[in-house]
A and B are shown apart, each in its own frame.
Chain A
């Protein structure tokens, strides 16, 4: 089946530094990918939609200059959390659209900012 590989699975970084999270579609081409954030005991919150070769579309309230999304190829989308702060600590998940077959999700990245 269609698999999205997400790395790293967890990362700890210092306040003020930047962290990059990668999502790769392994056996298919992902024209559209989505990035979610999830806080403990809460549902997934959509942050942005990225389309290969174009600018990402951000949801209301999500700072595009803080959460940089790049979808430069059909198999790779990245999310960079810039100047991270402790309140950015969360579980980040990517997903790729599979048309009629719904969506496939990465395994998630646990970000802890100290």
Chain B
């Protein structure tokens, strides 16, 4: 697994975009970047993943830098229900996944 680094916490106003950064400078060429979030006392929920290109789905957008050393998860219109811990991971397929501390996002009314 590539090691990932995220800020421990972030605040965001409800309705505004939440931009969560992740540094994965040791990522290798065939490692995808995955984002999950965990709401209190639940299992992690898949959000989005990408390899090189930017990705968008109904939940979020993922912006990956050209050198692939960092990425940003964008929640375009954060709601109170988006308050959670967000994990960025870069596992090498077939191998164990190590979770870092993640970013605790607080969405405030």
CB distance from A74 to the nearest CB of B (A): 16
CB distance from B10 to the nearest CB of A (A): 16
Most-contacted residue by chain B among A36, A44, A95, A107 (CB, 10 A): A44
- Residues of the A chain whose Cβ atoms lie less than 8 Å from the Cβ of B38: 44
Report the count of interface residues on A (CB-CB < 8 A): 25
CB distance from A76 to the nearest CB of B (A): 17
Q: Of B43, B85, B101, which is within 8 A of A108 by CB?
A: B43
B94 touches A97 (CB 8 A): yes
> B15-40 toward A: CB 8 Å interface, digit per residue (1/0)?
00000000000000000101010100
Which residues of B are in contact with A by a Cβ distance under 8 Å? 32, 34, 36, 38, 41-46, 49, 85, 87, 91, 93-94, 96-102
